[in-house]
Amino acid sequence: MENPLKKNGQKGAETKILGSKEEILELLSKGVVAQKEELEEVRRLSEEERMWWKDFLPYETTEQILKAIERGILEEIKGDENFRLIMRFSNPELEKWQPYLDKNAAALLSEVGERWRKKIKVSRLPNDICLALTSLVRTKKYQEEIINAGKLAMPDSPHTKGQSFDIDGCGYYIGDSVVNPRQCENYQEIYKPLVHQILKEVLGEMKNEGHLSYIQENKNTGNQCFHITRNPAYLAG
């Protein structure tokens, strides 16, 4: 199928392998501040996932994350045909964004991608399209920074235990180009809602099967994302 980014001269924003620290932080600073009603809704919607993981200790520091990697508890997420990590994970200056998940959460992520790809193949979307991963494991300290900045986040989030990951809900990649409202002036012309409609369908199926929970955060904004958490009953293999 013809790449819609190239049709009639349209282009997405070219992906940078290593965005500068300043560029990334400037982009992140444009994120929306959560309203009280939104925080209360997410607190309610995330109650199940937070109960699942309430008795598990969070990663307080980057050093604890590194030790968990050495012990084989956390697994590096490198991306594949279904997912790509956004540029903040490629910059070594930005230590707070670590490309790791609990090994069982990593397996869940892979299954989400495989199911999504299976449905994409029978759609009329480009073969080289893939989803954008925006957040993986977080330290408790970084989670507190997010909360203090007024973002949509809970202090006991399973992100701090390596059990949650976020997928961009209004952006994705096609080949080496990125399609999202934060970087593309022609976003409304090139964005294909079916990309995320299919993702939502997959997540709904897997939720009904008891594999995960998910929340659409920051709905109807340029920062919408799918926040996904592993059910402890879901185990790799």
pLDDT (tens digit per residue) in 64-80? 999 999 999 999 999 89
Give residue 21's pLDDT: 42
Give residue 7's pLDDT: 38
User: Mean pLDDT, to the nearest integer, of 113-125?
Assistant: 95
* pLDDT of 17 higher than 90: no
pLDDT range class, residue 34, cuts 50, 70, 90: confident
Angstrom distance (rounded) from CA 235 to CA 230: 9
Give residue 237's pLDDT: 78
Pairing mode of beta strands 100-102, 74-76: antiparallel
Most distant CA pair in the chain: distance in Å? 54
Cβ partners under 8 Å of residue 36, min gap 6: none
Greatest mean pLDDT among 10-14, 45-49, 97-101, 181-185 lies in: 45-49
- The number of folded domains in the chain is 1
Give residue 98's pLDDT: 81
Give residue 131's pLDDT: 98
Give residue 1's pLDDT: 37
End-to-end CA distance of the chain: 35
Task: Tell me, yes or no, whether 2 lies in a domain.
Answer: no
* pLDDT of 94 higher than 90: no
Cβ(165)–Cβ(94) below 8 Å: no
User: Mean pLDDT, to the nearest integer, of 182-202?
Assistant: 95
Task: Tell me, yes or no, whether 210 lies in a domain.
Answer: yes
For 168-189, what is each residue's pLDDT tens digit? 999 999 998 999 998 899 999 9
At 118, which CATH number? 3.30.1380
* 3-state SS, one letter per residue, for the chain: CCCCCCHHHCCCEECCCCCCHHHHHHHHCCCCCCCHHHHHHHHHHCHHHHHHCCCCCCCCCHHHHHHHHHCCCEEECCCCCCEEECHHHHCCCCCCCCCEEEHHHHHHHHHHHHHHHHHHCCCCCCCCEEEEEEECCCCHHHHHHHHHCCCCCCCCCHHHHCCEEEEEEEEEEECCEEECCCCCCCHHHHCCCHHHHHHHHHHHHHHHCCCEEEEEECCCCCCCEEEEEECCCCCCC
For 139-159, what is each residue's pLDDT tens digit? 999 999 889 888 889 999 999
Task: Tell me, yes or no, whether 44 lies in a domain.
Answer: no
pLDDT range class, residue 58, cuts 50, 70, 90: very high
Give residue 210's pLDDT: 98
Task: Tell me, yes or no, whether 41 lies in a domain.
Answer: no
Task: Tell me, yes or no, whether 99 lies in a domain.
Answer: yes
Task: Tell me, yes or no, whether 193 lies in a domain.
Answer: yes
Task: Tell me, yes or no, whether 4 lies in a domain.
Answer: no
Indicate the pTM of the whole model: 0.86
Of 136, 154, 143, 134, nearest to 61 (Cα)?
Answer: 143
Single-letter code of the amino acid located at 153: A
Give residue 182's pLDDT: 86
Task: Tell me, yes or no, whether 10 lies in a domain.
Answer: no
CA 104 to chain centre: 16
As a whole-number percent, the residues of the chain with pLDDT over 70 amount to 82
User: Mean pLDDT, to the nearest integer, of 127-144?
Assistant: 94
- Residue range(s) defining the domain that contains residue 80: 56-230
* pLDDT of 40 higher than 70: yes
Cβ(85)–Cβ(79) below 8 Å: yes
